[in-house]
Structures are given as structure tokens and as C-alpha cells.
Structure 1
Amino acid sequence: MGDVLARRKLLASARAELIERPDVELPGIPGLVAASWRRSVACGVDPGAITNRYYEDLDVESRLVQCARPAIERLAEQTAGVPVCVVLTDDQARVLVRLDTASSIARAADGRRFAAGFGYAEGAVGTNGVGTVLESGGSVHVVGAEHFNEQLQDYACAGAPVRDPFTGRIEGVLDVSCRAEHSSPILHSLVRSAAVGIQDALLHDRDEGRQALFDAYSRIDARARRAVFAVGRATVLANTAAQTLLDPGDLHALQDHARFVMGRGSDIDHRLDLPSGVRVRMRGTAVTTGSTVAGLVAVVAVVREAEGVALTRAARDDRPLPEPASASPAWRAAWTTAAETLRARTPLLVVGEAGSGRKRLLADLDRALHGTTGVVEIGPVDVGEGTAAQIRRAGPSPLVVLGDLDRWDDHVPAGVVEALRDAGARFAATAEDTTRCGPALAGLLGRFERSVTVPPLRNRTADLPSLVTDVLADLAPRRDTRLSAEALRTLSRHRWPGNVGELRDTLDAALRRRPVGTIEVGDLPESCQSAPRVALRRSDEAERDAIVGALRESGGNRVAAAGALGLARSTLYRKIALYGITG
């Protein structure tokens, strides 16, 4: 008993001295506790009162909660002889579930605002078995006076992080709390074991595609001993070697490129110039489940370091090629190949989705290489008997772009090929899917000696900030307009089926809501404030837009939004998850 009192006196004295002098040494105080106390002081935590916030719109039926319920109930059964409360929180220390083994501990927890909906972050209530887990990243056992807050010092808590087994990210915290005199190291062991059980449940709850990707990544990582990463539609994995080999910008660009190519073949072997100037070799294998591509796993090796090496290759005439204004390896490769081809006056076919920037690439390159802006564009609606004459009127050596060949009516107007030759024209074409071109266009397609593929905007997320800046400058010249960081993050999660054209329409709509100043998330169209798991029907899109609108009107209050929509809260939460609503 004397040892317990002496220990409590030491802790109380050290804590009081720290509050008076934050830089004081703390001999005899465990390092984890001392570090937590110092953070608590720096955050201005009140040592004598609990003033944590209540959150009314938590998802108490989330996937984490569903997977954790069996483990929480088992843990309550294992500790049934002791008055404890078992608590699960989310990754922001907000209590989702509490299960009590006795009414006495329930009343104590309620009196200390340790209940569903309340936050228990370290910055709000000081050292505890939830917030300190999130700060330290590991399990903790805080007993009695080791708590920073006086109202918690009669209690003990053991907490452990619950990590997503796929990403390693902390998804929540499992905690067991009781009176200090009932504390035992066994509680710490039990809570850690239960947290592992929840992680196992999360692992088996994952969909088939993510499981297949994780399994393939694990197999290759185990035997490769090199930089390995994997990407899926909404998943990224990278081993320590990959994270240390490449800087974050290069790794992000590589992930974009992997998403771009993963549906185009089972195996890839690419050499890529990354934004920092590093050249890498990426060898990858697509992971499929049935007919669906779940993702791609790749091994990366540096072929050439960045220092002292130019990004562009010398052309045959020894002049440097124009530098691509993009961080996307796929775009940079398309740009460089297209530049070499156009300068050599070789016919070029540019393939890519509508709105992905195919014509813009050609126009920008022509301006950079030849200083001209007189690109002649001939699209499906322009094709007719006067097409050949239009080419001849364009002047000497124009760049003629035959746009969207796969949308031409399988007809090449008479004299077009001869007109291209007679005018000395440099010519290129764009197409989304050349397999849709009919036999009459086969001869014209055969005249193109080289082709490049430009990536869609969803695979160029690193370029989004610069593209937004350019589009805003074009739409609102001489106006001080910009996107907030949160609005830019929201746009980066969008799939952009309409590519750069859709981005322009989105920013145009946002400018109508906020003509000048900082564009916030609420100024963006409803369609951008979700990242759905599946393709949406028109009725789904209408429902999604109604939900986003209700959330916007209620200031993000989900309870109020559910009431306005006439939906149960659980239904609203499911639909928010289904549509990937982020606003």
C-alpha cells in the first residue's frame, strides 16, 4: 500500500511542477506518460475539468462497428467479474460504442462524459486510453494518477489501436476502463488481443477484389526484396523500400500511371521519367477477379538518378524538346513521343478519352516547336466535299488535325489525302477507339506511322492544381480566384468521366456561386462531392445530388439532413457511404 501511495505522490508532484514549468525534467515518470503530459499542457488541457465536445452525427453502424461488435461482446464476457466499460472509438477518438458490465461503472463513465458521441482526444481531456493511443500509435495502459486530468485519476484504462489490415492505417481504438484498484496488466493483454481480432474481421470483410490485390502484393513483397507498390481503384500499398526510394511526388505520379495502364494488359514493363527527373523501370502485373481488374502490383527500380540529368532527350537536330508541363509519366511520355514525331513531320495518331486533352497537346506542341497557332482542325461535323479545299487554303505546311476519326461516318472525302500532300501539311489525328473505325477509314489510318495515348484526368491527379489554376485564369481573367485546400481535395477524389472539359464546366459553375475570392467545397456542383463505388444511374445521381444539397443546407448536420429528406439516419449513412459523399 505504501508503494502505491508513494507512486501516486510522485506522479502528482511531477504533474503539478510540469503545469507550473512546462520545460521541467520528469525523472521517474514513464516516457509515454511524460510525453503525453507535455502534449496535454501544450494543448491547454484543463487539468481539473472535462470539457470534451459532443458529436451528434457519428456513424454508429459503420463497417468498423459491425466488425468490432463480436470482439466487444467477448471482451465484456471475459471481464464480467469486474466493473468495466468496453469502448470503441473512431480514428478521431469519438466514442461509437460503449458496453458496460456493471451499472456503477456506467454511471461513472457518464459522469465523465465518456459516452457515445463524445470525443476523447488527448488534446481535449489529456492522457487517456483512447487519445493517447492515437497520438503514440501503439497500445497504452494508463493507471490512476498517470492521467493528466484529475477527474480521471481514480480510474485505469487500457487501449489498443485497430488498424486496417490492408493499409495499416488506424481506423479506431478499443479501450477497457475500470476503477484503478481493479486494474491489472491482464486488461492490457486482453484489449490488445481483441483489437487484433477486430483487424482480422476487417480483413475477411474486405471485398473480393481488394483481397486479391492484397494477396498478390503480399506474395510479391515477400520475395522481391525491392521497391513494391500496389494500386486499386481506392487502394494504395507501398512497402518501405518504395517509400524511401522515391519522393512523395514521384510515388504519387507512379500510382497515377499504374491506374492508367492496369486495364490495358496483364503485364507491363515501362521505363518512365518521373517529375523529379528520376527515371525508373516499372514491371507490373494486373490483378483480376473474374473479368474485373482489381488493381496492379509493380516492382520499381531506379534506372537513372535525377541529379545533373536533363529530363528531355536530344532530338536528331540536337535542339532540346519542349518540356511537358505535367507530373504524369504517361502524359510526359506521350508529349515527348509526339514532339519527336511532329518535328520529324511524321503523321501522328493521338488516342485517348474525349476531353482528355488530345487536341490541346497537339496545339501546344505545334506552338512550342514552330511558334504557330494556325492549327487546322477537321472534326466529324466538318467532313464534306469542301474538306480538301479547306486544307489547301490553310497556307504552307499547316498542322492539320483530323479530329475524332472514330466518329467519322466511315467516309474519307475525295481529295483529302492528295490535299494533305500538296499543301505539304503536317498532319495528325485523334481518336478514342480506333476499333470503331470502318473499312473506308482503314487506308487513312494506315498512313499514321506513330501513335501515342494520353491519360484521362483521373490518372493525372498530380496535375490537377496546375490545371485548376489555368482554367480559372481563363474563365476569370484579372480576378482573384482560387480553390481552398478542402475544395481541391474534393476535386481530386472525383472520377472526372468528362475529363478536362468537365473540370472546366465544374469551375464555371463554382464561379457563378462565388465570382471572386476563395472557392469552397459548398460552391462546387453536387456531382463533385461524391466518389461512388460503382457507376451511377440517372436516378442514383438525382438522389446523390439531393443528399448533398440537404447536407449543404443543414451545414453538414446529418440528423437534420435525414429529417429534411424523410430518411432514417441509418439509411442516410448507408447512402452517403454508397455514393462516397465527401461534402
Structure 2
Amino acid sequence: MGDVLARRKLLTTARARLLDRPDADLPGIPRIVAASWRRSIARGVVPETVTNRFHPDLDTDSRLVRCARPVIEQLAEQTAGAPVCVVLTDDRARLLVRLDTSAEIGRAADENRFAAGFGYDEGEVGTNGVGTVLESGGSIHVVGAEHFVEALQPYACAGAPVRDPLTGRIEGVLDVSCRVEHSSPILGSLVRSAAERIQDALLRDRDTGQQAVFDLYTRVDARSRRAVLAVGRRAVLANTVLQTLLDPGDLAALQEHARFRMARGPGVDDRVDLPSGVRVRMRGTTVAAGSSVDGLVAVVTVLREADGFALPEPTSGSPAWRSARTAAGDALRAGTPLLVVGEPGSGRRRLLRDLHTGGPVVEIGSGDPVGSFAPSALVVLTDADRWDRAPAGLTAALRSSRARLAATVTDAARSGPWLADLLPRLRRSVTVPPLRNRSGDLPSLVTDLLSELAPGRDARLSADAMRTMARHRWPGNVAELRDALEVALRRRPVGVLDVGDLPESCQSAPRGALRPVEAAERDAIVAALRDTGGNRAAAAAAVGLARSTLYRKIAQYGITG
């Protein structure tokens, strides 16, 4: 008992000293705990109580849960003699499953928001057997006062990562939590063994969606001598006919168009203009497993006949962009009211401005005053799905002027009464693809934007900078690309813009969306690497991380600089 009390006193004193002075030395404190405490302070974790968030949209029927559930149930049976919670989380520390061996421990877990749907990331609740596993990349047993948050100190938790057996990526965390008096070192062994069994189950589990795509591709290829393309969530298949029919640039563009079309409906029959000028017909079907679309399989035929339609030469080579441009051009020339759908920043308004050359383009946002319109004007109602009501006088001004009408929206399905009244007036719609589905357009877009932002200057991207930008997902689309180039030009107004001139957000390719605290950490690491000339040891010291942690963070955030 004396050793236990002395240990608790050591931990409590060290934590209090660190809260008073974040750079304090912590002799006697395990390195992994001390590092976690420092991260908790840096991220503003409240030290007294749990303040985590609830996430209502988690996939509790995922492949990970399906493979883990028998193992979790077996682990709960193994530990039934003690009051424990057995928990599985996803790779963002959000609880997917919790099994309790007693009602008492379940009530205690609920009080600390250690329940399905809640997050236990270290940046929210400090040192614990879930979030600290994800931070460290290894198993951990956090006991009592080793927890950073006081409300969790009566408890102990043993956690182990569950990794994808093929990629090695952490898919989730398995954790067993109990009160300190019921804790035992054997919990760590049980959790690690159970995590390994889940990984074995993941290895044995077949991706039915990917298999369905492959099966359909095989059947279509076997009964046809034509070119066949299959695009899945993680793989692309092209038979020999297709590979010899199209050059690599056209094939890559067609694959991107197929990914874009996967989410647009079950049947596909598109005429696609490829960057080289070749026009093809892509006819096929999507493959779905349950409610999710897993891929698309299509037969590709080269069309020899001329298009018969001429627009000002577009700067984009993306088939999806060309298709949207062609359809929008047809509608505008015919005077047909047009709806343009796309993500913010994807170039919806730019498309309309480029195509309407016979008069002014008048953009109206929610709450803007409305005047009179010239008959040759194109009136664009911008982001109409965000409007509560139409501006006063808009309908009368459109009727009296007979101006042409277009509207831009992000999601027409999530609309209020105002958009529901507007949609019957619009006769055609086109969808502008996001920049991530038209990466082949990036060089031409960069060239055009640099010409606008730095007219008359010799400003261009290096090959490394262009490759870095090509790896970025561009959640803000073309608008984000423009902002990134403005940053680079401020850092280097003339000459070759290199990787270090790009904003920190472009110098990484994370697997998913980053939370604000993760983005801040990523930016700090990128800045430190830039300031130290890429010296990782010096960068680790500059941001206060162990070198091994820095390497893990570089991989986690996909930092390329």
C-alpha cells in the first residue's frame, strides 16, 4: 500500500508542477506519460473534468466492428469476474462498441462520457488508454494518476492498436477499463492478444465490394473483345485493349471521370472528350454492396465522328469539366434557365462567366439589393441553397427584363422553401466536378492563376512543388488553389516557386480531414522542417517532440516537404 501511495504522490506532484510550469522536468514519470501530459497541456485539455464531444454519424456496422465483435464478446467473458468495460474505437478515438461486465462500471463509464459515439482523443481528454495509443502507436496501460484529467484518475485502462494486416495502418483501438483497485498487469496482455485476433479476422475478411467489382469486370471482359475499364475504391483494372487504345494521359483522365460518375447514378452512358482530343463513349454500370457504391465497370469505345460543337477552347482537359462546360454552353445559348451544382470553390461561377460572352453577368447573393437587368444579362443566384428567401423585387426584375437566369448550389437536396420554389423555373442542370476529381487540370489551372495573380512576372512552379500540389486533396477546390498560389507569391514574388514557398496545408496529404488542433500541429511541423532546412532532428527539437514521434507525425499527416 505504501508503494501505491508513494507512486500516486509522485504522479500528483509532478502533474501539478507541470501545470504551473509546462517546461518542468519530470523525474520518475514514464516517458510516454510525460510526453502525453505535455501534449495535453499544449492542446488545452481541461485538467479537472472530461469535456469530449459526441459524434452522431459513426459507422457502427463497419468491417472493423463486424470482425471485432466476436473477439470483444470473448474478451468480456474472459474478464467477467471483474467489473470492466471492453471498448472498440475507430482510428479517431471515437467509441464504436462498449460491453460492460457489470452495471456499476457501465454507470461510471457513462458519467465520464466513455460511451458509444463519444470521442476519447488525447486532445480532448488527455492521457488515456485510447487516445494515447493513437498518439504513441503502441499499447499502453494507464493507471490512476497517470491520467491527465482528474475525473479519470480513479480508473485504469489498457489499450492496444488494431492495425490493418496489409497496410499496417491503425484502424482502431481495443481498450479494457476498470477501477484502479481492479486493475492488473494481465489486462495489457489480454488486450494485446485480443487486438491480434481482430487483426487476424480482418485478414480473413474479404472485401465483398472490391470482389464484386472484380467479378463483374471479369465477366464483361470475357464476353467482349472491346476495351473494358473497372474503377473501384482502391484499385483500377484496364484490359489490354483499353491500354493500347488510349495513351496514359487519356487513360488517367478517363479513370478520374469514372470515379466522378460512380456517385451520380447506377447507369453510365457518357460521351467523353479526353485531353488529347480523342472522344470516347463510356457505357457501363456501378457496383454496389449494400448502400455504398464500390465501383464502376464500363465498356469504352472510341468515337470517330466529329463533335460538331465549338466553344472557346477551355483550359481544362478533365472529361467531367468538359462535359459540364458543353452542357452549360448549350443551355446558355438556348436561353434555358440553368442550375449549376458543385462544391464551394469548384469554379461554378467562373464557368458561367466564361461561357456568357454576349452581355453582363450579374451575381446576386442572399440579401443583395436588386435593380434592373439588361435583356442581354445573365443573372446568377449564387449559393441559392443557403438563401432563406428571395431578395425583394427579384422576380419582378427578371420578368420585366427577360434576362437569362442561372443559379449555383452545393446541395439541391438540402434546401428550404425558397429553393423548392425556384427549382421548377430551372430547366437544365450541370455538375461541376471538384478539383480532386480533375487533377490532370492542375498544371493548366496553375498557369492561368499565376498569370492572373502575377501578370508580366516570370513566376512558375518547380517540378517538386507541382508534384506536392498534385498530392493535395484540395478540399477548398480552385479557390483554395488560388489562395495557395497567393501565399507562395508573397514568399517568392518572382522566379521558380518551390515546395517551401507553398502554404503548410499543401505540404501534406493526410488520409482524412484534420481537426483544427491536428491542422495546427501539422502546420507547426511543416514550418519547423522548412526553417531547419529539412533537418528532422532539429525540427523535432523546435516543436518539442521526440524524433520518433516526429517521424510518426510526418507519416500520419503525409507531410511531403
Which range, TM-score by smaller chain? Answer: 0.5 to 0.7
1:313 aligns with 2:293: no
Do the aligned partners of residues 229 and 551 (structure 1) sit closer, same or farther apart at CA in structure 2, a change above 3 Å counting? farther
How far 1:495 moved relative to its partner?
A: 0.9
**Which of 523, 539, 546 is the equivalent residue of 1:561?**
539
* Contact 1:282–1:298 (CA under 8 A) maintained in structure 2: no
1:432 aligns with 2:432: no
Aligned to 2:517: 539
Structure 2's unaligned 5+ residue stretches are: 1-165, 168-198
Counterpart secondary structure, 1:435: coil
Q: Deviations over 1:283-307 (max 9, x none)?
A: 45555677655x52322321403xx
Do the aligned partners of residues 412 and 221 (structure 1) sit closer, same or farther apart at CA in structure 2, a change above 3 Å counting? closer
**Which of 213, 217, 223 is the equivalent residue of 2:219?**
223
Do the aligned partners of residues 581 and 241 (structure 1) sit closer, same or farther apart at CA in structure 2, a change above 3 Å counting? farther
How far 1:399 moved relative to its partner?
A: 1.1
Aligned to 2:339: 349
Aligned to 1:408: 387
* Contact 2:281–2:303 (CA under 8 A) maintained in structure 1: no
Do the aligned partners of residues 552 and 361 (structure 1) sit closer, same or farther apart at CA in structure 2, a change above 3 Å counting? same
User: Percent identity among equivalent residues?
Assistant: 64
Aligned to 1:327: 317
Do the aligned partners of residues 216 and 549 (structure 1) sit closer, same or farther apart at CA in structure 2, a change above 3 Å counting? farther
Q: CA RMSD in A?
A: 3.0
Aligned to 1:299: 298
The alignment's TM-score, normalised by the length of structure 1, stands at 0.57
1:523 aligns with 2:522: no
* Contact 2:341–2:429 (CA under 8 A) maintained in structure 1: yes
Aligned to 2:491: 513
In 2: Cα distance, 1:256 partner to 1:207 partner: 31
How far 1:431 moved relative to its partner?
A: 0.8
Counterpart secondary structure, 1:518: strand
In 1: Cα distance, 2:538 partner to 2:458 partner: 35
Q: Deviations over 1:212-239 (max 9, x none)?
A: 5653443234333253444456654434
1:365 aligns with 2:355: yes
Write the mapping of 1:10-159 to structure 2, written as runs, cut at 5 A: none
In 2: Cα distance, 1:238 partner to 1:204 partner: 31
How far 1:342 moved relative to its partner?
A: 0.8
Do the aligned partners of residues 518 and 321 (structure 1) sit closer, same or farther apart at CA in structure 2, a change above 3 Å counting? closer
Q: Which moved more, 1:327-336 or 1:565-574?
A: 565-574
How far 1:515 moved relative to its partner?
A: 0.7
Counterpart secondary structure, 1:429: strand
Aligned to 1:256: 256
Q: Deviations over 1:505-526 (max 9, x none)?
A: 1000001111100000111011
Paired AA for residue 440 in structure 2: A
* Contact 2:233–2:295 (CA under 8 A) maintained in structure 1: no
In 1: Cα distance, 2:241 partner to 2:356 partner: 41
Counterpart secondary structure, 1:302: strand
How far 1:531 moved relative to its partner?
A: 1.0
* Contact 1:280–1:300 (CA under 8 A) maintained in structure 2: no
Write the mapping of 1:267-286 to structure 2, written as runs, cut at 5 A: 267-286=267-286
Paired AA for residue 360 in structure 1: R
Counterpart secondary structure, 1:354: coil
1:242 aligns with 2:260: no
In 2: Cα distance, 1:300 partner to 1:507 partner: 39
How far 1:570 moved relative to its partner?
A: 3.6
Structure number with bigger Rg: 1
How far 1:582 moved relative to its partner?
A: 1.6
In 1: Cα distance, 2:415 partner to 2:390 partner: 11
How far 1:580 moved relative to its partner?
A: 1.5
Counterpart secondary structure, 1:258: helix
In 1: Cα distance, 2:486 partner to 2:423 partner: 37
| Number of positions where the alignment pairs a residue of Structure 1 with one of Structure 2 | 362
Q: Deviations over 1:226-267 (max 9, x none)?
A: 534444566544343332221112112112212222233344
Aligned to 1:16: none
Q: Deviations over 1:344-396 (max 9, x none)?
A: 111111111111111111111012xx2x3x211111131xxx42xx1x2x333
Q: Deviations over 1:6-28 (max 9, x none)?
A: xxxxxxxxxxxxxxxxxxxxxxx
* Contact 1:487–1:521 (CA under 8 A) maintained in structure 2: yes
In 2: Cα distance, 1:489 partner to 1:561 partner: 23
Write the mapping of 1:440-451 to structure 2, written as runs, cut at 5 A: 440-451=418-429
Aligned to 1:399: 378
In 2: Cα distance, 1:235 partner to 1:575 partner: 27
* Contact 1:378–1:402 (CA under 8 A) maintained in structure 2: yes
In 1: Cα distance, 2:467 partner to 2:201 partner: 30
Paired AA for residue 299 in structure 1: A
Paired AA for residue 313 in structure 1: G
Write the mapping of 1:494-505 to structure 2, written as runs, cut at 5 A: 494-505=472-483
Q: Deviations over 1:63-103 (max 9, x none)?
A: xxxxxxxxxxxxxxxxxxxxxxxxxxxxxxxxxxxxxxxxx
In 2: Cα distance, 1:239 partner to 1:217 partner: 14
Counterpart secondary structure, 2:281: strand
Do the aligned partners of residues 292 and 214 (structure 1) sit closer, same or farther apart at CA in structure 2, a change above 3 Å counting? closer
Write the mapping of 1:423-502 to structure 2, written as runs, cut at 5 A: 423-502=401-480
Paired AA for residue 251 in structure 2: L
* Contact 2:331–2:338 (CA under 8 A) maintained in structure 1: yes
Counterpart secondary structure, 1:272: strand
Q: Deviations over 1:506-559 (max 9, x none)?
A: 000001111100000111011001111111101111111122222223333334
Aligned to 1:199: none
1:340 aligns with 2:330: yes
* Contact 1:213–1:297 (CA under 8 A) maintained in structure 2: no
Paired AA for residue 335 in structure 2: R
* Contact 2:387–2:418 (CA under 8 A) maintained in structure 1: no
Structure 1's unaligned 5+ residue stretches are: 1-165, 168-201, 315-319
In 2: Cα distance, 1:557 partner to 1:284 partner: 50
How far 1:486 moved relative to its partner?
A: 1.0
Aligned to 2:528: 550
How far 1:270 moved relative to its partner?
A: 2.6
How far 1:426 moved relative to its partner?
A: 1.1
